């Protein structure tokens, strides 16, 4: 939904400005908060399999020092997984309402976001299938390459 505002000044043509609802929300002080797992330190823990999560990533950000492999993404969210047994996993973003999906997989080899070792990625609707080791912690970075994001699904 959009709203139009007509601006008039003396001795000038009429100017029509159309604002989207999200911009009007910003002006009204009702900006939408970033997703809770927007930053690496607040990654959503995957505690059971199968796993599925859905969120709006239009207000997600990229934090300073955040790694970017395969395809740059401005709107990322994080998931962590520590398997209790060796496991073959498949992860994808099927069900997202955008096709420019970006999914990166890292293994934690040291503390913090700089302690990640890149393992693999899947883009544009692809899936990650790989073996994970029991007791090791892995991080999935999910986002989109172009556009404004939308309803992101992590499976």
Among 96, 83, 71, which Cα is nearest to 130's? 83
pLDDT of residue 7: 40
Residue 26, φ and ψ in degrees, nearest 5: -65, -40
Q: What is the mean pLDDT of residues 43-53?
A: 96
User: 101-123 burial, b for 16+ CB within 10 Å, e for fewer?
Assistant: bbbbbbebeeeebeebeeeebbb
pLDDT of residue 26: 42
Whether 3 has a pLDDT exceeding 70, the answer reads: no
For residues 16 and 33, give the distance between their C-alpha atoms in angstroms, rounded to a whole number: 29
The rounded mean pLDDT for the chain is 86
pTM of the complete model: 0.80
For residues 109 and 100, give the distance between their C-alpha atoms in angstroms, rounded to a whole number: 29
Q: What is the mean pLDDT of residues 66-88?
A: 96
Residue 45 in contact with residue 154, Cβ under 8 Å?
no
pLDDT of residue 1: 40
For residues 140 and 106, give the distance between their C-alpha atoms in angstroms, rounded to a whole number: 6
pLDDT level of residue 30 (50, 70, 90 thresholds): low
pLDDT of residue 17: 41
């Amino acid at each position: 939904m959009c709203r139009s505002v007509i601006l008039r000044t003396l001795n000038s043509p009429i100017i029509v400005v159309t604002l989207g609802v999200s911009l009007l929300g910003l002006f009204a002080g009702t900006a939408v908060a970033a997703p809770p797992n927007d930053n690496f330190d607040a990654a959503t823990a995957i505690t059971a399999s199968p796993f599925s999560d859905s969120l709006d990533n239009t207000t997600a950000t990229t934090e300073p020092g955040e790694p970017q492999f395969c395809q740059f993404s401005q709107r990322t969210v994080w998931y962590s997984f520590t398997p209790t047994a060796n496991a073959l996993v498949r992860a994808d973003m099927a069900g997202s309402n955008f096709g420019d999906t970006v999914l990166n997989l890292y293994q934690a080899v040291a503390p913090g976001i700089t302690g990640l070792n890149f393992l693999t990625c899947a883009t544009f609707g692809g899936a990650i299938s790989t073996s994970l080791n029991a007791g090791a912690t892995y991080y999935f970075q999910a986002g989109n390459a172009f556009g404004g994001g939308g309803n992101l699904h992590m499976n």
